[in-house]
Structure 1
Amino acid sequence: MLQLLGKITSINVRKVLWTCAELQLPFEQEDWGAGFRSTETADFLALNPNATVPVIKDGDFVLWESNSIIRYLASRYGGARLYPADPQARARVDQWIDWQASELNRSWSYAFLALVRKSPVHQDAEAIKASSANWTRHIGMLDRQLEATGAFIAGRDFSLADIPIGLSLNRWFSTPLDHPHFPAVSDYFQRLTDRPGFLAYCRNGTP
């Protein structure tokens, strides 16, 4: 059975949990990371030299990096409806997965650490303001994309891209800052409530 190493409060671990739910894929999960078993042990570092979660063990196959993991699982376990084989459709999904990791994450990092995690080294008022504004700008980009598709982030159908995007939007709504009304984003976030994986691993009270 698939083994998943990582605490369920981690947003990156929840990407994998939600993907498993979409694939109806059974797994065994172990809590690793801050507050649980240390990822700095020799045994864990042998699996992932970055000492980060999640890590999966699929038989003898070990993989880290959450976006690589969800792509692998969809490809390995019959997830063509999530991760299409057509090169252009797959590239569109990949585009939004990568954008979430490279652009959206960077926009919210400072504000989230300051306002939710209460990090003492992230309390500069101007930096919080700038990060919040940049975060909102990126949510506006999502709103325009969702208005164009009328449904999900990469098109008319739910795809693997909606998992990291949905988790990021949950984080945005859960952070105490001004939330301008983005109609397409609000409709989309409500649309995701039809999915059990979203309710279990995204809209579950964990930002």
Structure 2
Amino acid sequence: MKIIGKTTSINVRKVLWTCAELDLSYDREDWNESHASLNPNAMVPVLVDDGFVLWESNTICRYLSNKHASSLLPDDAQGRARVEQWMDWQSTELNTAWRYAFMALVRNSPAHQDPAQIEAGIANWNRHIGILEVQLAKTGAYVTGEEFTLADIVLGLSVNRWMMTPMARPDYPNVAAYYDRLNERPGFREFGRNGVA
């Protein structure tokens, strides 16, 4: 099995952390032009599994969990739907909320230097993490309940990005406790809380 994409990519790290949780071995290589035929979007990660090519990080994580009969994705329809709901929220709502502020504050993008948009981006990002704060107050442990799931992999990396971005953040005690709880997992220490935003 091969994973294509650099380890500094948050989306590649989702897949690498999933592999760590599943104890899967893989080869990894950085993206180059020879990979262009594998993903029409020219984005990473890309998974090549015995000739089967798959892209989109959350989909790759689901595929690996399904293939290896993992508890990271529950068997029952409602449990699975709850995990997938939070995974989809991460990739659509939460990612959209942080994009402008992150590009300005971490990537120092010249195209993202409007102070009003940065301020609005920070406020929107904090508001979305506030949604997670409320959810974690209900569950007391992980995003969907007492058990660690794929939702925690994708959201754990998002929380890491939020914590590491130099900006004002509200005091969210449940998110802080969650962040510490994730740090007990070797996969998170290697691919999440590892100094890479």
Determine if contact 1:15/1:70 at 8 Å carries over to the other structure: yes
2:66 is matched with which residue? 75
How many residue pairs match? The answer is: 197
1:3 is matched with which residue? 2
1:24 is matched with which residue? 23
1:137 is matched with which residue? 127
Amino acid aligned to 1:152: Y
Q: Which runs of 5+ in 1 are unaligned?
A: none
**Superposition TM-score, scaled by structure 1 size:** 0.94
Q: Which runs of 5+ in 2 are unaligned?
A: none
Cα distance, 1:156 vs. partner?
A: 1.0
Cα distance, 1:78 vs. partner?
A: 2.5
Cα distance, 1:133 vs. partner?
A: 0.1
User: Where has structure 1 moved over 4 Å in runs of 4 or more?
Assistant: none
Q: Secondary structure at the match of 1:117?
A: coil
2:52 is matched with which residue? 61
Cα distance, 1:57 vs. partner?
A: 0.6
Amino acid aligned to 1:53: V
Share of identical aligned residues, percent?
57
The one-character-per-residue Cα deviations of 1:133-192 (angstroms, maximum 9, x if unpaired) are 000001110000000000000111100000110000000011010011101000000000
CA distance in 2, matches of 1:140, 1:97: 16
Matches for 1:14-53 after TM superposition, within 5 Å: 14-32=13-31, 37=32, 41=33, 43-53=34-44
1:13 is matched with which residue? 12
CA distance in 1, matches of 2:111, 2:183: 35
Q: Secondary structure at the match of 1:187?
A: helix
CA distance in 1, matches of 2:154, 2:74: 17
The one-character-per-residue Cα deviations of 1:12-70 (angstroms, maximum 9, x if unpaired) are 000000000000000000012xxxx3xxx3x4222111100000111011100101100
CA distance in 2, matches of 1:138, 1:184: 14
Q: Secondary structure at the match of 1:136?
A: helix
Of 43-52 and 110-119, deviating more is 43-52
CA distance in 2, matches of 1:28, 1:124: 41
2:145 is matched with which residue? 155
Q: Secondary structure at the match of 1:140?
A: helix
Amino acid aligned to 1:122: H
Q: CA RMSD in A?
A: 0.7
The one-character-per-residue Cα deviations of 1:67-98 (angstroms, maximum 9, x if unpaired) are 1100000000121x100110000000000000
**Superposition TM-score, scaled by structure 2 size:** 0.99
Cα distance, 1:103 vs. partner?
A: 0.2
Amino acid aligned to 2:167: L
